[in-house]
Amino acid sequence: MAELRDLYQEVILEHSKRPRNYRTLAGTSLSAEGYNPLCGDHFVIYVDVEDGRIRDISFQGSGCAISKASASMMTQAVKGKPTADAEKLFMDFHRVVTGKNNVGVDDLGKLAAFAGVSEFPVRVKCATLAWHALRAALAGEKQAVSTE
Ligand code: ZN
């Protein structure tokens, strides 16, 4: 676990301890479940979209520090944004955490804290789980998203 310590940057730890937007969202029909059987991370993302913009977003569930912090920081990052911007942010985030390249890392803001995840392939699924669930919710998919 020693090498994982480097990965758990302060901002990630802080969000995992005090997740933001950690609640259900009443009155929205858009939600999706994400499950990462490898780690046991399991979250539901709730989204309220109005005129193509994410008016509100929340999540509930449980998982490791990385998955929970990622969900928490994702909700902060996309709240109030057009869904197209959220999609672009996901693409940039995904490229950075999978170590493909760092194009877009400057636009990630605090989410750049997850760049270290690319060195731990198993953890990439933890970091991207909430994002996959968000996409499914926005697409209106009812089936649970699994990383397997
Ligand atoms: Zn995990």
Residue 42 has pLDDT above 90, yes or no: yes
> What is the model's pTM?
0.91
The alpha-helical segments, DSSP class H, found in the chain are: 2-7, 10-17, 65-78, 83-97, 121-138
Query: What pLDDT, on the 0 to 100 scale, is given for residue 1?
Result: 47
Instruction: In whole angstroms, give the CA distance from residue 43 to residue 63.
Output: 8
Give the separation between CA 6 and CA 18, rounded to whole angstroms: 20
Å from CA of 42 to ligand 1 middle: 9
How far away, in angstroms, is 63 Cα from ligand 1 center?
A: 6
- 2-140: which CATH number, 3.40.50.280, 3.30.2130.10, 3.90.1010.10, 3.40.50.720? 3.90.1010.10
If you measure from the C-alpha of residue 52 to the centroid of ligand 1, how many angstroms do you get, rounded to a whole number? 30
Domain ranges of the chain: 2-140
Higher-pLDDT residue of 4 and 112 is 112
What is the average per-residue pLDDT within 36-41? 96
Interval between CA 112 and ligand 1 midpoint (Å): 18
